[in-house]
Structure 1
Amino acid sequence: MKRLSILLITLFFGRKISAQEIIPQPAPVAKIGKSIFANEIKRNFSRKGNWFFHWGYNFSWYDESNIHFKGPGYDFTLKDVKAHDRPKRLSLEYLDPTLITTPQFNFRFGYFIKDNYSISIGWDHMKYVMDIPQTVNVDGYINSTISNPAIPTGAYAGTYNNTPLNVKDNMLTFEHTDGFNYISTEIERYDDLWVAPSRETSLTFETGLGVGMMIPRSDVRLFGVGKNNFWNIAGYGISAKAGIKFYITKGFYLQNTTKVGFTDLSRIHTTGRNDIDRASQTIRYAENLTVLGYQF
């Protein structure tokens, strides 16, 4: 009787354990980021693990900045210099693949590390053009000849102490037009503003921070001498951005973003005599960009 009882207990618990082993486990639920906005309809998929890239164009605005020039026979600073961008007018040239990098463009490639966070690398190709002529205050000195070999400075020679000076093109032209290049790494956050019932179309609010290198191609003429210099790492930049990302489909999107930034350029090429002539400046800017992209 005792042996029979043991056998029945073994069979009972053995079947129970087997039944538990074959119970199907629930499928893991995608961790969808919590939006700071209250949406009636939520996404039913996660963006984690997606890649994206986009291309588009920008307009930019520059705060007044000081430009410091230094070399043999001169050391002076132009204060509160005004400048503007140089967008290419809308034309069929935008459709010419050989001219694709001529306008002020933006390119970015990134990866979603979480449903609502991504990291990316990109290239903001802006253009910076100093207004000429303009009157600015000047500190420092300019000898009658500067650099080596000597460049005559004419009526601009003298000592300046916050002195107003009308800067004309026979003294200086100064541009970062090929361009004012910001190569950066950014981290972005996304919060859904609206999701369509199909969940294929949505509107997302994007914010982000970035840091990177400034690699301008500076076109400078100082007292008539200079060149369109080759690209060089001239300094660094930091930026913050906010914008709207409209997902036309689950993959294709149209995005408009405003970015503000600070750049420190300590090694600007000027006359082409890079071992002796140089300039430096800090630039604060605002940029608005519109891009078309794809996420996969």
Structure 2
Amino acid sequence: MRFKNDKSDDYDFVFHDAVAHDHPSMSDFWRFKSLTIPQYDATVGYMFHDKNDLGIEVSWNHLKYVVDDYQTMRVSGEIRGFKFDRDTLVTPDFVHLQHTNGNNYLMVNLVKRWQFLAGRHLALSAITKVGGGPMISYTISSIFTSHAEGPFHYEGWVAGTSVGLKLDVFRYFFLQSDMQGAYAKYTNSYIGADRQGRVTHQFGSAQLIYAFGFNVPL
């Protein structure tokens, strides 16, 4: 994880093996006015009904990513002419970073369906997806107590794949579960009140998705 500012300040340093976690915020899930606060996924797609049973979809994965405060890690680089390379306790007064509104994946996916059970009212299919797209994220951060929040903007890109099961009910409704793995690369995150600093980092993510929705026959 690299922090750099050569415009309004003078620093260029790296966090090695930083530890971060997600933040499901599921306590807000049942409040109607707070539906967008927890981690969630929304998808719209179209099945071509060709011989290969392919489709395409656009998905919005609203995840959250928080770098743990008060962790000790190796930090190396330069701050205002002082060079260093040593284990450091990273407090919020030094650096704090979170993508919690959020770590957003906007992905276009190719979808493949294998239907292996089709009854009068129920149909069960295996679903695989592969795709990628931009991350339109909202970062909350501070460096040397200089605090910044947002705005939503392009911060990098993501690519991923998933596999799951889909149960169609009475043709018009469905239940679905997916296991998705993704690789995210942040290239343009702001840090500092003047938004002149930049953060670059990358990580892998895995999520288990439960979904319900509606089929619209055309």
Using the size of structure 1 for normalisation, the TM-score is 0.68
Tell me what 1:70 maps to: 4
Shift of 1:86: 0.6
* Residue of structure 2 in register with 1:84 after alignment: 21
Offset of 1:125 from its aligned partner?
0.3
- Say yes or no: does 1:261 pair with 2:182: yes
Cα distance in 2, alignment partners of residues 178 and 287 from structure 1: 17
Task: Determine the structure 2 residue equivalent to 1:231.
Answer: 152
CA distance in 1, matches of 2:156, 2:93: 28
Task: Report Cα offsets for 1:166-203 as digits up to 9, x if no partner.
Answer: 1112211110000001111111101123233x2x2022
Distance 1:226 1:259 in 2: 33
Aligned positions of 1:170-249 closer than 5 A: 170-196=93-119, 198=120, 200-249=121-170
Q: Which residue of 2 aligns with 1:169?
A: 92
* From 80, 83, 86, the counterpart of 1:159: 83
How many percent identity over aligned positions? 24
Distance across 2 between alignment mates of 1:160 and 1:245: 53
Structure 1 counterpart of 2:197, from 259, 274, 277:
277
Deviation at 1:223, TM superposition (A): 1.6
Greater per-residue helix proportion: 1
Q: 1:141 aligns with which of 55, 71, 78?
A: 78
| Letter paired with 2:97 | F
CA distance in 2, matches of 1:211, 1:219: 24
Q: Name the aligned partner's letter for residue 177 of structure 1.
A: T
CA distance in 1, matches of 2:77, 2:116: 54
Amino acid in the other structure paired with 1:258 = M
Q: Aligned pair 1:122/2:59, yes or no?
A: yes
Count of aligned pairs? 211
- Match for 2:78: what amino acid? Y
Is the Cα contact below 8 Å between 1:190 and 1:205 reproduced in 2?
Answer: yes
Which of structures 1 and 2 has the bigger CA Rg? 1
Letter in 1 for 2:12: D
Please say if residues 128 and 176 of structure 1, whose CA atoms lie closer than 8 Å, have aligned partners that are also in contact.
yes
* Residue 32 (structure 2) pairs with residue 97 (structure 1): yes
Kindly report which structure 2 residues correspond to 1:51-66, keeping only aligned pairs within 5 A, or say none. Answer: none
Query: Matched residues in 1 for 2:49 and 2:76: separation?
Result: 51
Relative contact order: is structure 1 or structure 2 higher (C-alpha 8 Å, sep ≥ 6)? 1
- The residue aligned with 1:48 is none
Q: Aligned equivalents of 1:248 and 1:159: distance in 2?
A: 63
RMSD after superposition: 1.5
- Map 1:18-33 to 2 at 5 A: none
Which deviations, in whole Å up to 9, do the C-alpha atoms of 1:53-108 show, x marking residues without a partner? xxxxxxxxxxxxxx100112210010111111111234xx4344322211111111
Say which SS state the counterpart of residue 37 (structure 2) adopts.
Answer: coil
Q: Give the whole-Å Cα distance in 2 for the aligned partners of 1:171 and 1:272.
A: 14
Report the CA distance between 1:211 and its aligned residue: 1.1
Alignment partner, residue 288 of structure 1: 208
| CA deviations over 1:8-60 (Å, ceiling 9, x no partner) | xxxxxxxxxxxxxxxxxxxxxxxxxxxxxxxxxxxxxxxxxxxxxxxxxxxxx
- Give 2:172's aligned amino acid: G
Contact kept in structure 2, 1:106 and 1:125, CA below 8 Å? yes
CA distance in 2, matches of 1:245, 1:272: 46
Aligned equivalents of 1:212, 1:86: Cα separation in 2: 22
